[in-house]
Amino acid sequence: MSARRLVLMVLMTVLLASSAQGQNPPAAPPGADNPDLDPNPSQPDFTLVNLPTTLRLPRMKSAFRVTHRFLRALGQDDFGSLAGDLFGLDSGAIIGLEYRFAPMSGLQAGILRTSDRTIDFFGQYNVLNQRGGNAIGLGVLAAIDGTDNFRESYSPSLGVAISRELGNHGAVYVEPIWVNNSNLSDLPGEDNSTFLMGLGARLRLRPTVYLTGEFNPRAGYSPGANQGSLAIEKRAGGHVFQLNFSNGFGNTMGQLARGGTASGDWYLGFNISRKFY
């Protein structure tokens, strides 16, 4: 075969391939039809302030969160002293680092470590998904936290997260959770477990701005105040930044079961989360 004939054959092949490519639309990228990858304007994050939501994490994807709770109560001393302390920002803080991963569709698991040396392992399986045609969202929750870097005082918990999305305007939550060994002092005559009824809501004020709140009344072992939180948050792509106010420092179910410091003590804090998809 001559070189001229070979060149003509190559050119004809290229022209035919280009023509075929122009006639056929490009193939959709893998996973493009996965509804879990679509943004959910009513549930932009996997937590409210501390309580979980029913937002599904897409299979083989992950997310990261930082929690920060300043230790100075906003009502401590006078306004001048508080302003001089930059409203608590100059005080110490309890910091948490969290990572979660979805090994399969509907299932997510993760780990949270707080700077008081508590480590929490948690998992959630979404049984019902409102965006899949169900009336509610339903997730089964299981967790266990341990103090002193998971070497002492383990507190396992079981519960469910029930959500109802309000169109694209937010969602409300009811989360009954049982926490065992919440009484770390184990004093005689006191309960050793807590029933926690988590109540929460997230309301969409603007396309990417939300008002979020949660409250955690308890039965059984329930020292201190029932911890509550109120927050304003902003979503920017895969990031959610939340400025919150709480009457306690609890992040894990065991910590929430042990309650806040006092009903009148409120502390400034924030959460920053990032989705890796």
Cα–Cα distance, 172 to 153 (Å, whole number): 33
Q: Mean pLDDT in the chain?
A: 88
Q: What is the pLDDT of residue 84?
A: 62
Q: What is the pLDDT of residue 160?
A: 98
Angle among Cα 102, 105, 107 to the nearest 5 degrees reads 50
Mean pLDDT across the stretch 38-63? 97
* Class of CATH domain 38-276: mainly beta
Task: Kindly report the three-state secondary structure assignment for every residue of 9-67.
Answer: HHHHHHHHHHHHHHHCCCCCCCCCCCHHHCCCCCCCCCECCCCECCCCCCCCCEEEEEE
Judge whether residue 26 has pLDDT over 80.
no
Average pLDDT over residues 17-30: 47
Name the E strands within 119-266: 119-128, 137-146, 152-165, 170-180, 193-206, 209-215, 218-220, 228-236, 239-246
Which pLDDT does position 22 carry in this prediction? 45
Q: Which residues pair with 243 in a beta bridge?
A: 232, 270
pLDDT band at residue 271, thresholds of 50, 70 and 90?
very high
Query: Is there a contact between 40 and 137 (Cβ–Cβ < 8 Å)?
Result: no
Kindly list the domain boundaries of the chain, sorted by start residue.
38-276
Residue 146 has pLDDT above 90, yes or no: yes
Work out the percent of the chain whose per-residue pLDDT is above 70.
82
What is the model's pLDDT at position 76?
72
What's the pLDDT tens digit per position in 85-135?
666 666 789 999 999 999 999 999 999 999 999 999 999 999 999 988 999
Question: Are the C-beta atoms of 94 and 71 separated by less than 8 Å?
Answer: yes
Residue-wise pLDDT tens digits, 54-77: 999 999 999 999 999 998 887 776
Alpha-carbon distances, residue 134 vs 85, 130, 138, 165, 199 (angstroms): 49, 4, 9, 11, 21
Torsion of CA 88, 90, 248, 185, to 10 degrees: -140
CA atoms within 13 A on the CB side of 20: 6
Confidence (pLDDT) at 4: 44
At residue 9, the pLDDT reads: 52
Query: What band does 204 get if pLDDT is binned at 50, 70 and 90?
Result: very high
Please tell me the pTM assigned to this model.
0.84
Whether the pLDDT of residue 11 is over 90: the answer is: no
